[in-house]
């Protein structure tokens, strides 16, 4: 069985899925046509319920603001293993940001695919490998080299409606993507000589549309293009331009495919037909109201019906009615209450089948406390969790395919790491990537004050009460490199200790404590520590008494000795110094 036959069978097998996705796109894009019998009535005013569009935009708005955080499990317990895993996370995040620079709506579109199709698909292109292959074919590589300035990878989003997946019980076995492109863009991408001749012979042919089929399995990579814009089934099995026919020797497919349980956000409304019913009922309600508004308000009978006129010469005016003529107000006719109730019920049903109203309007209830509002909001956001998980799994597979490309081509991946003190370029060495041990996950996390405060409190509780290590608490806060943060904290503690010592020294100098301590030390060093020198005559007064004071205690403050006043406090008084009282009596 040839590749084109296989591709055609895959397209036929996916016809029902394509039909469902097309109708859901109509719901989101508000494309609707009334049934022919109703549309033929001239007084009909078509009404389209916009709830699917509002629900889709609300889901994208809520989830598109989440930050992509990859997490790689280290291959060992050593610090080097953890550092290597952290560096890989930095590099992959940087590569993803470079990819998003090319397409500003890159992240929001992936959320949109998850919400609308319950499926996200993308092709991961390794630009260095593309350049190498082009050079072997002597094809110009300037375009790819310019593209490489934004990073080594390109992720080409694929519309799930026109992408067909063949799965086994174990994994994805083959991928077929169908798209429409111009001749010029095809030549820029594939560099095929036949396309070049077509464009050179007829310049306006560069805008001709071609349907491009790209088939990929674990044996072959085959691409061909057929002129015309036709994405339907039963394509030709021959003809067209073969753009690529090569063996595929890599043990992986360069696609990231993430699928949910097959129920997109609009599935319930599509399956039940509630949106179509609401459109018909809304059209009848509005059209009938307009028709009733245009009815005559009065009924005139009698021979002078054409002679009735209004006299406006006096205030308020008056109506002049000929004799024998009768004017009556027509009985007012209101809308059928059952029809109005049916429309209300239909729109309410669609609301319940998609997303809560508060995600569309963000309105609070009267007198509602913030805690209650926040609880309702978080509960509403929780209904979108399945689509968030689909997108997270898709990003994780994208990162995995980047690592596999690098390993099997022997090409290192570079990235920029922003640090607290400048930044640096780091790389993932292809030789150190172990394909069988890649364990990577992705979280889409909000970055709002309330969530940050909750995470901080949770991390504090983990550290203080549950005795978790600092690394685990930092990871709970979303730190992608906890080891580096811990090192910075240790440096900060040393720096604070040194700075604190300097500040204390300055404070002591300012208060004079250092000078006082220096004087006390000098006094201690100046005190004699031994007896009189040996061999000399005894020093002292009569009877061998030591000189200078009582019991050998000297009192020379100049050499650090105790002042006399401290030895005998009574000498500080008049009586102590003279030996008599102030009246002249002996003591």
192-237: pLDDT as tens digits: 888 888 888 888 888 999 999 999 999 999 999 988 887 665 556 6
Rounded-to-integer distance, Cα 319 and Cα 312, Å: 9
Place 360 in a pLDDT band, splitting at 50, 70 and 90. confident
pLDDT for 177: 94
pLDDT for 17: 93
Rounded-to-integer distance, Cα 235 and Cα 7, Å: 9
Mean residue pLDDT of the chain comes to 80
Say if residue 372's pLDDT is above 80: no
pLDDT for 388: 92
Residue 454 lies in a domain: yes
Helix, strand, coil shares of the chain as percentages rounded to 5?
50, 15, 30
pLDDT for 544: 45
Say if residue 158's pLDDT is above 50: yes
Residue 242 lies in a domain: no
DSSP string, 497-552: HHHHHHHHHHHHHHHTHHHHHHHHHHHHHHS--S-SPTTSPPPSSGGGPPTTSGGG
Rounded-to-integer distance, Cα 544 and Cα 532, Å: 13
Could you tell me which of 474, 439, 421 has the C-alpha nearest to residue 89? 439
Place 539 in a pLDDT band, splitting at 50, 70 and 90. very low
Rounded-to-integer distance, Cα 178 and Cα 181, Å: 10
Looking at the chain, the whole-number percentage of residues with pLDDT higher than 70 is 77
In angstroms, what is the C-alpha Rg of the chain? 45
Q: Name the residue with higher pLDDT: 389 or 364.
A: 389
Q: Name the residue with higher pLDDT: 161 or 423.
A: 161
pLDDT for 513: 67
Q: In the numeric block, which tokens belong to residue 326?
A: 């009768």
pLDDT for 294: 64
Rounded-to-integer distance, Cα 167 and Cα 253, Å: 13
Residue 482 lies in a domain: yes
Say if residue 249's pLDDT is above 70: yes
Q: In the numeric block, which tokens belong to residue 461?
A: 């509780």
Most confident listed range (40-44, 135-139, 188-192):
40-44
Place 518 in a pLDDT band, splitting at 50, 70 and 90. confident
pLDDT for 494: 83
Residue 218 lies in a domain: no
Residue 440 lies in a domain: no
Identify the burial level of 394 via C-beta atoms within 10 angstroms of its C-beta, where 0-12 means exposed, 13-18 middle and 19 or more buried. buried
Residue 478 lies in a domain: yes
Which residue segment(s) compose the domain that 487 sits in? Answer: 449-507
**Strands 209-217, 241-247: parallel, antiparallel or unpaired by DSSP?**
unpaired
Say if residue 552's pLDDT is above 60: no
Could you tell me which of 446, 480, 419 has the C-alpha nearest to residue 71? 480
Rounded-to-integer distance, Cα 482 and Cα 344, Å: 54
Residue 484 lies in a domain: yes
Please state the domain count of the chain: 1
Helices 51-64, 106-117: axis angle to 10 degrees equals 130
Q: What is the mean pLDDT of residues 528-543?
A: 49
pLDDT for 236: 61
Helix (H) or strand (E) holding 443: strand 440-445
pLDDT for 479: 66
Say if residue 534's pLDDT is above 60: no
Q: What is the mean pLDDT of residues 344-368?
A: 80
Q: Which residues pair with 225 in a beta bridge?
A: 212, 241
Say if residue 529's pLDDT is above 60: no
Which residue's entry shows tokens 């060992």?
Answer: 76
Looking at the chain, the whole-number percentage of residues with pLDDT higher than 90 is 28
pLDDT for 1: 61
What's CA 40's distance to the chain center, in Å?
49
Rounded-to-integer distance, Cα 96 and Cα 512, Å: 61
Q: In the numeric block, which tokens belong to residue 1?
A: 């069985």
Q: Name the residue with higher pLDDT: 508 or 164.
A: 164
Residue 460 lies in a domain: yes
Task: Give the lowest-confidence range in 33-42, 183-192, 246-255, 475-484.
Answer: 475-484
Helix (H) or strand (E) holding 486: helix 482-511
Place 545 in a pLDDT band, splitting at 50, 70 and 90. very low
pTM higher than 0.75: no
Place 560 in a pLDDT band, splitting at 50, 70 and 90. low
Helices 106-117, 385-409: axis angle to 10 degrees equals 120
pLDDT for 115: 95
Torsion from C-alpha of 481, 482, 483, 485, nearest 10 degrees:
100
Task: Give the lowest-confidence range in 208-212, 312-316, 417-421, 500-504.
Answer: 417-421
419-465: pLDDT as tens digits: 666 678 888 999 888 898 889 999 887 654 445 566 676 767 777 77
């Amino acid at each position: 069985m040839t590749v084109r036959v296989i591709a055609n069978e895959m397209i036929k097998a996916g016809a029902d899925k394509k039909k469902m996705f097309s109708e859901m796109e109509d719901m989101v894009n508000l494309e609707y046509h009334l049934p022919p019998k109703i549309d033929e009535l001239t007084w009909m005013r078509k009404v389209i319920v916009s709830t699917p569009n509002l629900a889709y935009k609300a889901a994208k708005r809520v989830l598109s603001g989440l930050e992509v955080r990859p997490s790689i499990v280290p291959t060992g317990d050593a610090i080097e293993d953890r550092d290597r895993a952290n560096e890989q996370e930095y590099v992959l995040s940087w590569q993803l940001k470079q990819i998003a620079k090319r397409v500003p709506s890159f992240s929001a579109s992936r959320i949109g695919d998850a919400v609308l199709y319950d499926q996200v698909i993308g092709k991961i292109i390794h630009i260095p490998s593309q350049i190498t292959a082009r050079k072997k074919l002597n094809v110009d590589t300037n375009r790819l080299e310019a593209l490489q300035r934004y990073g080594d990878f390109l992720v080409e989003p694929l519309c799930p409606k026109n992408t067909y997946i063949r799965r086994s019980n174990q994994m994805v076995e083959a991928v077929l993507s169908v798209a429409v492109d111009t001749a010029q863009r095809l030549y820029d991408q594939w560099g095929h000589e036949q396309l070049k001749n077509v464009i050179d012979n007829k310049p306006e042919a560069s805008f001709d549309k071609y349907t491009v089929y790209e088939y990929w399995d674990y044996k072959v990579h085959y691409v061909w293009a057929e002129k015309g814009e036709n994405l339907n089934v039963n394509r030709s099995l021959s003809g067209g331009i073969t753009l690529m026919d090569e063996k595929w020797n890599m043990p992986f497919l360069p696609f990231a495919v993430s699928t949910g349980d097959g129920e997109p956000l609009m599935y319930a409304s599509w399956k039940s037909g509630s949106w179509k019913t609401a459109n018909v009922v809304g059209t009848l309600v509005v059209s009938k109201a307009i028709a009733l508004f245009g009815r005559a308000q009065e009924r005139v009978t009698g021979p002078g019906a054409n002679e009735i006129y209004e006299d406006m010469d006096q205030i308020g005016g008056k109506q002049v009615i000929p004799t024998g003529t009768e004017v009556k107000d027509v009985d007012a006719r209101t809308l059928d209450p059952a029809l109005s109730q049916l429309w209300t019920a239909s729109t309410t049903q669609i609301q319940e089948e998609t997303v809560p109203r508060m995600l569309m309007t963000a309105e609070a209830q009267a007198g509602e406390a913030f805690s209650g509002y926040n609880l309702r909001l978080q509960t509403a956001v929780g209904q979108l969790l399945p689509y968030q998980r689909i997108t997270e799994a898709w990003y994780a597979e994208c990162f995995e395919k980047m690592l596999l490309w690098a390993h099997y081509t022997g090409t290192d991946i570079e990235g920029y790491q922003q640090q607290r003190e400048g930044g640096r370029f780091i790389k993932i060495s292809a030789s150190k990537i172990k394909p069988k041990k890649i364990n990577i996950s992705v979280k889409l996390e909000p970055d709002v004050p309330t969530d940050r405060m909750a995470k901080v409190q949770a991390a504090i509780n983990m550290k203080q009460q549950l005795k978790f290590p600092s690394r685990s608490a930092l990871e709970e806060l979303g730190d992608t490199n906890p080891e580096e943060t811990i090192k910075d904290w240790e440096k900060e503690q040393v720096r604070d200790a040194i700075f604190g010592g300097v500040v204390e020294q300055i404070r002591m100098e300012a208060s004079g404590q250092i000078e006082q301590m220096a004087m006390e030390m000098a006094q201690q060093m100046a005190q004699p520590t031994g007896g009189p020198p040996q061999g000399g005559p005894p020093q002292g007064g009569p009877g061998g008494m030591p000189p200078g004071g009582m019991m050998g205690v000297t009192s020379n403050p100049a050499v650090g000795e105790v002042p006399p006043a401290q030895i005998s406090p009574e000498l500080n008084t008049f009586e102590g110094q003279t030996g008599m009282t102030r009246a002249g009596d002996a003591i």
